[in-house]
Amino acid sequence: MTKIAFRAGLAALATATMLLSGCGGSDSAEPKGGTTAAQATDNGVAALTADEILAKAKEALTKANSFHLAGSATTDGDTMSLDFKISGKDFAGTMSMGKDAAVEVLAVGGKQYMKPSEGFWAMIAGAEQAKTMVAATGGKWVLVPAGEQISGLFAAADVNELLKPGGTLSKGEATKVGEQAVITLKDSSDADSQVFVATTGEAYPVRIGPSITGEGITFSEFGATFEGIVAPAADQVIDQASLSK
């Protein structure tokens, strides 16, 4: 599912550049917080079918309402990464590809904002146009209308997209991610990617990746309060539509 999750998070980037057709990666973070008494209690998901386990993982993540999502992946020598803090439908974070192409993204109160680097503009529009866009935005947030192609960047906060398999799910082995006991789910469309769901405490998705360590995406800070997810001041926002004038 690594490909699936990154494809959701970087959808607009992939469409614009035709570069992101698949992912390997390099993220070894483990979920924060140690094993608690609640976590030590078997939650029963290991006995369920693969589809039922995934449904439980989505339910747990939705119930938590907030979580931290981070990871990186490399394909054809280009490293992609994302780091999001998500609270309900609001979130803030960064995405990057290579050394120079990066974009800050922010969603608050149903509005979507992005703040691209010059390298990001260059990747999707060319070097000359990038200079024009940087000058036009002046370091401000760009308000992105829903439905725009570039709004696919914001799909990484959608639980259904994050945990959407590309093929048939099957149940794999029970193992551990750090100290957290998990059950493995495999996706028939991507043999290298697996999702690891906690089998003690809440049935959170703990990790998406080829293995329990190394490449992939990690989930942590379930239920945390993220104070920094706030709308930018009005004078720090420019409407995307004005950039094409």
Q: Is residue 129 part of a domain?
A: yes
Which of 4-18, 145-159, 168-182, 231-245 has the largest mean confidence? 168-182
Span 177-200, pLDDT tens digits: 999 999 999 999 877 678 999 999
CATH assignment of the domain containing 92: 2.50.20
Domain count, the chain: 1
Task: Indicate whether 47 belongs to any domain.
Answer: yes
Is residue 56 a contact partner of residue 45, using CB atoms and an 8 Å limit?
Answer: yes
CB 96 within 8 A of CB 71: no
State how far the Cα of 135 lies from the Cα of 129, in Å rounded to an integer: 10
Q: Which two tokens stand for residue 208?
A: 């998406």
Residue 154 lies inside a defined structural domain of this protein: yes
User: What count of other Cβ atoms lies within 10 Å of the Cβ of residue 235?
Assistant: 7
The kind and range of the H/E element at 162 are helix 159-162
Is position 234 within any domain? Answer: no
Task: Give the angle 109-113-114 at the CA atoms, nearest 5°.
Answer: 155
Nearby residues of 75 by Cβ (< 8 Å), 6 or more positions away: 19, 20, 21, 22, 23, 24
242 occurs within a structural domain: no
Taking alpha carbons only, the member of 13, 28, 9, 2 closest to residue 161 is 9
Where on the phi/psi map is residue 42: left (φ > 0), alpha (ψ -120 to 50), or beta?
A: beta
Confidence bin at 222 (pLDDT 50/70/90)? very high
pLDDT tens for 77-116 read 777 888 999 999 999 999 888 778 899 999 999 999 999 9
Asked if 238 and 142 touch (Cβ cutoff 8 Å), the reply is yes
- Whole-model pTM? 0.81
Q: What are the residues whose beta carbons fall under 8 Å from the beta carbon of 102, sequence distance 6 or more? A: 94, 95, 96, 116, 117, 119, 120
| Per-residue DSSP letter, 200 | B
Q: Is residue 231 part of a domain?
A: no
Please choose, from the candidates 212, 206, 209, the residue with its C-alpha nearest in 3D space to the C-alpha of residue 175.
Answer: 212
On whether residue 138 sits in a domain, the answer given is yes
Q: What is the mean pLDDT of residues 148-165?
A: 78
- Residue with the two structure tokens 């398999």: 165
237 part of a folded domain: no
* Domain with 103 in it: 2-226
